[in-house]
Amino acid sequence: MSFTYLFYQHIMFRHSCGKCHFCNTRRPSDITIADFWGWEKTDPDINKDDKGVSLILVNTEKGREIFNAVKDRMTVVPAKLEDCLQPNLRHPSVIHPQRMAFEQDYQRKGFEYAMKKYGGNNWKKKVRRLAGKIKRRLKQKFGF
């Protein structure tokens, strides 16, 4: 069991993650860099090495100038905004219902205890996670 598993369960997010006012495309930064979720809608061949694809959103004119200055050193694949939007570019994170209990157990009994209690160290959860990984791989490779 790992830190990553707990992270993706949203059980150890900060409280502010559920109220974040930056979870949209109206960003205060010049450029936003993120994981490109939905790359397969744009070009199913751009992630052949299965290492992931980065997303760059240009938010201001200054950002456009910066991007234009470096884009020749990158592989750039234009995409429609609606095909790029991961959940946190649409809405704040949904916080796990046991978030407060996790925090209290962590404070009282430590990380190892909280990891065992909330980390899914039982065989049913391991089988479900493995089945999910297999399903995602099949979907990536064969489209079902």
In this prediction the pTM is: 0.65
Task: List pLDDT tens digits, range 40-82.
Answer: 899 988 888 988 899 999 999 999 999 999 999 999 999 999 8
Mean pLDDT of the chain: 88
Q: How many CB atoms lie within 10 A of CB 84?
A: 21
Q: Is the pLDDT of residue 30 over 70?
A: yes
Closest CA to 88 of 18, 23, 7: 23
Residue 1 burial class via C-beta count within 10 angstroms: exposed 0-12, middle 13-18, buried 19 and up: middle
Residue 122 binned pLDDT confidence (cut-offs 50, 70, 90): low
Cα angle for residues 122, 125, 128 (degrees, 5° grid) = 150
